[in-house]
């Protein structure tokens, strides 16, 4: 399975953007990459590369000039984790062949169907988790609320009450 830091950092940065954009919604200030870089310990130059790709895919919009930065370009519930990962050209692939079915001497390996099925399950799961779900989960964790959100591919999120 290959999910590199590119995909992980893109999801982290989008969540940071969504959380901090919401905090400033009264002022409607864009969020700077320098701020995300500082809060998440991600290189500013790396964030610039990621946000260039996210902007091209329509997930973020940029505001130029003094006081500029980035905003989430769509409603949070319209952006899934799989959208974010694919926007930065990250492939989630558990097969050795990249889906080309030439993993063993120009043919399929014995376990190709297993790994291809895993790819579909992972993509289904990541498609079912939205930026809105992650924002809600983070806010609940920060507030110390005794319930948690369990991400599910069938429902965007489901509350499970903690029992003590």
What integer pLDDT is reported at residue 34 of this predicted model? Answer: 96
Alpha helices (runs of H) in 24-162, residue ranges in sequence order = 33-40, 44-56, 81-87, 112-127, 131-143
Q: What percent of the chain has pLDDT over 70?
A: 77
At residue 79, does pLDDT exceed 80?
A: yes
Record the pTM: 0.82
What integer pLDDT is reported at residue 111 of this predicted model? Answer: 84
- Report the SS3 class of residue 86: helix
CATH fold group of domain 5-92+128-161: Arc Repressor Mutant, subunit A (1.10.10)
| Contact indicator for 22, 135 with CB cutoff of 8 Å | yes
Residue 49's alpha-carbon distances to 13, 119, 140, in angstroms, are: 12, 26, 31
Other beta carbons within 10 Å of 107: 10
Q: Give the model confidence (pLDDT) of 112-132 as tens digits.
A: 888 888 888 988 999 999 999
**Tokens coding 137:** 């989960």
Residue 77's alpha-carbon distances to 24, 48, 111, in angstroms, are: 19, 24, 36
**In whole angstroms, how large is the CA radius of gyration of the chain?**
18
Q: In the block, which residue shows the tokens 């992972």?
A: 122
What integer pLDDT is reported at residue 159 of this predicted model? Answer: 47
Segments making up each domain of the chain, as ranges: 5-92+128-161
Angle, CA of 90, 83 and 141, to the nearest 5°? 100
| Contact indicator for 10, 90 with CB cutoff of 8 Å | yes
More confident residue, 27 or 75: 75
Measured between alpha carbons, how far is 51 from 48 in angstroms, rounded to an integer?
5
Reported confidence tier of residue 81, pLDDT bands at 50, 70, 90: very high
At residue 94, does pLDDT exceed 90?
A: no
157-161 and 69-72 beta bridge pairing: unpaired
Q: Give the model confidence (pLDDT) of 8-61 as tens digits.
A: 999 999 999 999 986 655 666 899 999 999 999 999 999 999 999 999 999 999
Q: What percent of the chain has pLDDT over 90?
A: 51
More confident residue, 163 or 153: 153
What integer pLDDT is reported at residue 152 of this predicted model? Answer: 57
What integer pLDDT is reported at residue 119 of this predicted model? Answer: 86
């Amino acid at each position: 399975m290959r999910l590199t830091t590119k995909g992980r950092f893109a999801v982290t940065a989008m969540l940071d953007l969504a959380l901090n954009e919401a905090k400033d919604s009264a002022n409607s200030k864009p969020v700077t990459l320098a701020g995300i870089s500082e809060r998440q310990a991600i290189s500013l130059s790396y964030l610039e590369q990621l946000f260039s790709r996210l902007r091209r895919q329509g997930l973020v919009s940029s505001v130029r000039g003094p006081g500029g930065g980035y905003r989430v370009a769509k409603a949070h519930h319209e952006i899934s984790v799989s959208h974010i990962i694919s926007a930065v050209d990250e492939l989630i692939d558990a097969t050795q062949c990249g889906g080309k079915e030439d993993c063993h001497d120009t043919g399929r390996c014995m376990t190709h169907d297993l790994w291809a099925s895993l790819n579909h399950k992972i993509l289904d799961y990541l498609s079912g988790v939205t930026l809105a779900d992650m924002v809600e989960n983070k806010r609940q964790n920060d507030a110390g609320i005794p319930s948690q959100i369990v991400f599910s591919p069938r429902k965007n999120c489901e509350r499970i009450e903690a029992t003590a």
